[in-house]
A and B are shown apart, each in its own frame.
Chain A
Amino acid sequence: MKIRLREIAHARSGDKGDISNVGLIAKEPRYYPALVREVTADRVKSHFGPLVLGPVTRYELPNLLALNFVMEQALDGGGTISLRTDAQGKTHGAALLTMEVEVEPHELTGSA
């Protein structure tokens, strides 16, 4: 079944220069494997499309049930240079949560 990421995860995003990073966190431990499987760096890169011009790198933090996406050339130069309203990528977390992912019903309920 297809669901929006926001149903199983929450997120926070911020900036370092022209780099935007999104921390994606499973709402429940049982959702984490689906995040790891579905939310790949490639899928995040294509989801953001023209908002992110550079490469996307994914890091895993299983201890926090989290993934960290580091997105380069993501803020029109970043900081003071950027002409975007969201020059600091503050909304990129919410933007990632709009992604649709494919999950098995049992992954949501926890029963096999």
Chain B
Amino acid sequence: MIRIANGQGFWGDWLEAPVRLVEGGPLDYLTLDYLAEVTMSILQKQRKADPNLGYARDFPPLAAKLAPSLRSKGVRVVANAGGVNPVACAREILRLAPGLKVAVVLGDDVLGKIDDLVTCGHELRNIDTGAPLVSIRDRIQSANAYAGAFPMARALDTGADIVLTGRCADAALALAPMIHEFGWKEDDWDLLAAGTAAGHIIECGAQATGGNCHLDWQTTPDFANIGFPLIEAEAGGHMVITKHPGTGGRVTRATVTEQLVYEIGDPTRYLTPDVVADFTTVHLTDDGPDRIALSGVRGAPRPDLLKVSISYLHGWKCIGTLVYSAPDALAKAETADRIVRERLAALNLSFEKIHTEFFGINACLAHLAPPLAEPAEVQVRIGARGRDKGSLERFSREVIPLVLNGPPTATGYGEGRPAVREVVAYWPALIPRNAIQPAIEAIS
């Protein structure tokens, strides 16, 4: 049996979690997921500005901090902190912690192959909208294929303390140590599906251990010291989801089920580069306090096509806010919105969309929000986006003036004019599996 934990559900997750996982109980592998859909484009920009950047900069200092306990406890790390520059990330780790052995998995970056792929007849249509890539070809920033678990497992075979990847399937981070330890084969579909289901459950960190869980959230024990999830994996595919003893949060059927259905489409076809897992075959059983066992998971052969995440410049956006206090807070906020829109209309600007929310009234739940008596204050939040940067810059100057020339009690404008931000958007597409050739490199 091996223990595999996840200590980061995204870049920005709790910094203490990985340290507590390594030091707070028995563990064999620590996985860390740093890459959200749009993170690659931000990293690509950083690498353009500096060829030594383009990776998750939180990771090398963390690796250095963990280094002594990784060695003394025999814990190995699998992380996608490499971003678009895993080699530079590895070099920085070794600069801070020279004793560590680091292996990187390369080959997910297909930015340089886009034109060849298109020439060969691969349209790289957006799998959500069906739009052809040609509509954004000149605005592409990055393109990375989702790599699977096998290249990471081969990197673990080299004996590295830390395996670094760029873009990979999130669940593959946890599946890789199982393949490495148990010798699972590329067509062990049910075993790969079991590991993938368990990996999916832990990939968002404490969302599997009571974080963001609707059911009886008020009774969740000790959120402040929440334990991050770990898998006890066995060679035969039996998996238990648990957490270190003495930590906060809880592992229950509810916390695990909520995470199993999180961010999925057709549950009978959970697609990864390694296997198609059928989540309607997952059988959960209680296995003692804070322990949920998974069994019965079935898998089907892996898809021939790989998902590639392409990022492109979509345009610009700007969001301005003002706060109005009672009495009549909502009426004042609604009046402010009308004034801004009337002034913008007179300026002949170009926007793709202007969107207003009344924060505290309907911002998230819209018409489903519970009715409210007189609110003490309301924030009007007006957002605009479009392709014309000049229009957005003018928009950013149209909200604040209402402090002096609109309805009374406007406040909460301490940040001044809102920033105009570039929108780097996400374009998921499919490419043939043979378009990428994963490679493993030991860095010393």
Contacts and interface: CB of A to CB of B under 8 A. Distances in A.
B366 A23 contact: no
Contacts of B213: 10, 12
A35 interface: no
Contact of A83 (B266, B353, B359, B364): B353
B384 A14 contact: no
Residues of B contacting A: mostly: mixed
Contact of B283 (A63, A68, A85): A63
Q: Which of B257, B381, B385 has the most CB of A within 10 A?
A: B257
Interface residues of A, number: 46
B262 A81 contact: no
A34 B190 CA distance: 32
A61 B366 contact: no
B35 to A, nearest CB: 13
A21 B365 contact: no
Q: Which of the four size classes fits the interface of chain B?
A: 35 or more
B257 A64 contact: yes
Q: Which of A25, A80, A94 has the most CB of B within 10 A?
A: A80
Contacts of B370: 98
Given A61-B280, A85-B359, A85-B381, A51 B366 contact: yes
Contact of B261 (A66, A76, A90): A66
Contacts of B357: 84-85
A62 interface: yes
A81 B314 contact: yes
Contacts of B368: 47-48, 51, 95, 98
Interface in A75-89: 76-81, 83-86
Contacts of B314: 80-81
A79 B261 contact: no
Nearest to A16: B263
Contacts of A91: 364-365
Contacts of B267: 59, 61, 68
Contact of A81 (B281, B425, B428): B425
A31 to B, nearest CB: 13
A39 interface: no
A71 to B, nearest CB: 11
Contact of A79 (B38, B279, B359): B38
Contact of A59 (B128, B266, B283, B317): B266
Nearest to A72: B128
A110 interface: no
B258 A25 contact: yes
Contacts of B283: 63
Give me the 7 closest cross-chain CB pairs, A-B, nearest first: A23-B261, A83-B383, A83-B355, A14-B263, A12-B258, A10-B214, A10-B215
Interface of B: 37-38, 128-129, 207, 212-215, 254, 257-268, 279-284, 314, 317, 319, 353, 355, 357, 359, 363-368, 370, 381, 383-385, 423-426, 428
19 contacts: A10-B254, A17-B128, A21-B263, A25-B254, A27-B215, A51-B367, A61-B261, A63-B280, A64-B260, A72-B128, A76-B355, A77-B425, A78-B426, A79-B37, A83-B319, A83-B353, A83-B384, A91-B364, A98-B365
